[in-house]
Structure 1
């Protein structure tokens, strides 16, 4: 592992930027229609339970990452076998998020530019940052987090002054029934809240490990509330009908701002936020994927893997789907069931059971020797 340490505040900032990265621009919980903001709050509770599961597993092996304690729990063969698929999962998510933001920039700002060129520019920045290490990434996060907060507060105030917010668009509550809301909650747990599983690779870098649980809970609460408020604002401004037809609802919401025929065309707010969020989302996914690969294959300097794995991630992001519609459909129909469910729920539960049983055996042996 890299010889570096980050503070609880830096971890808090990284988690929030990561959680909000793509979920701010990609609508979450729309199955519940105008109750989507409520579904996000419910999904946040589910995300907290998953986080406590990951924290409990890691507490049995403090200072180790999953690819290190999997072989200890399941043996060298099966442990490394499942660790390999965990590494593949991380790289797939890195490539998938890269495709998300690359496609967004092509649609929104650079329709004549090939997707490969956009993704290449993203990866150049990400590779450079990952080679600098987690400390550099964390310090950058502290600075850019302030920028994101200022942009968010300014946009919210301008929407209020513009009179765009109409809370009647949030009514009636539970029009589609509680079952529909519960279904939306289940769909929204994996993305974005369950993705916090990647931070099990970063917790060992925390200089105060005893604060990891508190920081994770607070960060999930803040990010969940921000996502819920953002969705409520989008629904209030656009209404569900228009929001469901928009590729990027937050952009459509910001474009409604027009004050005194002077303050308008604030697409730059959206663009800056997207670039910051995309940068951290891709960087963290790619960083933990490189770290996991280095740990699995016993590479002393993980930085040696950054360039070759960066090229693999770049080409995977372009070839992951033939078009944007197929990419979105894959993310909605295939990824949650066949990737998120096993790696965010099933494997962590199996690891916890294995850790508990192994710990009991150790305690019995200790009592027997006494």
Structure 2
């Protein structure tokens, strides 16, 4: 671990920015059709429960990283294997999110620029910031949080003023019953983005006031979740479910539809800045978690030795995980949630907590 500390307020901001990340970029919960916003809301509830599991593990092992306490809980061999698998998971998801934002920039702004160049430039900025440490990343979040929220409020006001919202597009609620909504929660919105907060188990030990981790985390998840719910509801009410389901990036299409007094329009550039800000922190935190976890697991002194090799792994992985964006999205909705998010976000942490509880009870009896 680097010698650094962050405040509960900075943890809240990092969680908020991380959760928004790619959740604002890609369409979430569309398996529930018009009730996608409800599936996201219920997914947020599940995410809050998962956070309590992560926080409980942190309470048992407040001063060490998960890559270390996994070995204490399950034994060295199995613990090291689990820790290594988590590092692969963090790097893989970082590469996926990088691909998401690279594709968005190529589609909307740099159609003649190779995707590799876009990804490389974005990752270079992230690697530079991560190289400075978690404190610099947290302070950067404090500065950009204000900008992001200002743009979000302005965007919502302009959508309302433009008269684009058609509440009929959200009706009828639960047209096909609660079944499709629950299925969407279990297969998608529970994990993306709310379960992804598992990455913060690598950040908790840097908190200068450990008692505030619960309040900061739950508040960050709840506030970001409500923002995502509102965003999806606005997207469907403006574009209709049919258009949202066919759109690669529905929020940008919604922003492009803004026109006030035949003067204020084409505001998508400003909101691309907001989206990239969220993506910056999501990729950065996944990358930082993989970086410090690798250093801890393999006992490497100095993060600078690892940062560029791991950066290259993320960059080239982002290019090779899928041959096209449609294949990338299909993999992210069908394979990743059940075969990666479910075990790493839900099953393994729950089992680790169960074993930790049993072990600590035995110690207390002795």
Coarse TM-score class (shorter-chain normalised):
over 0.9
Query: Per-residue deviation at 1:2?
Result: 0.7
CA deviation vs aligned residue, 1:39-74 (integer Å, no higher than 9, x gap): 111000000111111111221111211101011111
Structure 2 match to 1:182: 182
The match for 2:24 is: 24
d(CA) in 2 for partners of 1:21, 1:104: 13
Q: Which residue of 1 aligns with 2:50?
A: 50
Deviates more, 1:53-62 or 1:201-210: 53-62
1:321 deviates by: 1.0
C-alpha RMSD over aligned residues: 0.9
C-alpha distance in 1 between matches for 2:253 and 2:265: 12
**2:344 match:** 343
Aligned to 1:229: 230
Q: Distance in 2 between matches of 1:343 and 1:126?
A: 24
Distance across 1 between alignment mates of 2:41 and 2:313: 36
In the alignment, the residues of structure 2 paired with residue 62 and residue 137 of structure 1 have an alpha-carbon distance, to the nearest angstrom, of: 21
In structure 2, the partner of 1:68 is 68
Give the whole-Å Cα distance in 2 for the aligned partners of 1:60 and 1:260: 58
Deviations 1:49-108 (A, max 9, x none): 111111112211112111010111111111111111111111111111111111111112
Give the Å deviation of 1:313.
1.2
Structure 2 residue matching 1:289: 3-state secondary structure: helix
Segments of 5+ residues of structure 1 without an aligned counterpart are: 366-370
Residue 133 (structure 1) aligned with residue 133 (structure 2): yes
CA distance in 2, matches of 1:173, 1:115: 40
Structure 2: tracts of 5 or more residues without a match: none
1:172 and 2:172 correspond: yes
Counterpart Cα distance in 1 of 2:217 and 2:303: 25
2:41: which partner in 1?
Answer: 41
Question: How does the TM-score come out when normalised to structure 1?
Answer: 0.97
Give the structure 2 partner of residue 145 of structure 1. Answer: 145
**1:256-284, Cα deviation, whole Å (9 max, x unpaired):** 11111110111112211122111111111
Aligned-partner Cα distance in 2 for 1:133–1:339:
28
Instruction: Tell me by how many angstroms 1:132 deviates.
Output: 0.3
Question: Displacement, 1:110?
Answer: 1.2
Distance in 1, Cα, partners of 2:94 & 2:173:
36
How much does 1:25 deviate?
1.1
Aligned mates of 1:162, 1:251 — CA distance in 2: 15
C-alpha distance in 1, partners of 2:279/2:339?
24
Question: Equivalences for 1:159-308 in 2 at 5 Å?
Answer: 159-186=159-186, 187-308=188-309
1:111 aligns with 2:111: yes
| Equivalent-residue separation in structure 2 for 1:167 and 1:6 (angstroms) | 42
Offset of residue 22 of structure 1:
0.3
Tell me the SS of whatever aligns to 1:163: coil
**CA-to-partner distance for each residue in 1:269-321, whole Å, 9 max, x for gaps?**
22111221111111111011101111100112223210111111111111111
CA distance in 2, matches of 1:96, 1:248: 15
Pairing of 1:312-327 with structure 2 (within 5 A): 312-327=313-328
Q: Which moved more, 1:203-212 or 1:108-117?
A: 108-117
Runs of 4 or more, structure 1, over 2 Å off, are none
Cα distance in 1 between the residues matched to 2:32 and 2:75: 44
Aligned equivalent of 2:362: 361
For this pair of structures, how many residues does the alignment match? Answer: 365
User: Which of 246-255 and 191-200 deviates more?
Assistant: 246-255
Q: Distance in 1 between matches of 2:3 and 2:243?
A: 49
Deviations 1:165-199 (A, max 9, x none): 11111110100211011112222101000000000
Distance (whole Å) between structure 2 residues aligned to residue 309 and residue 242 of structure 1 = 38
TM-aligned CA deviation for residue 122 of structure 1: 1.1
Find out whether 1:13 has 2:18 as its counterpart: no
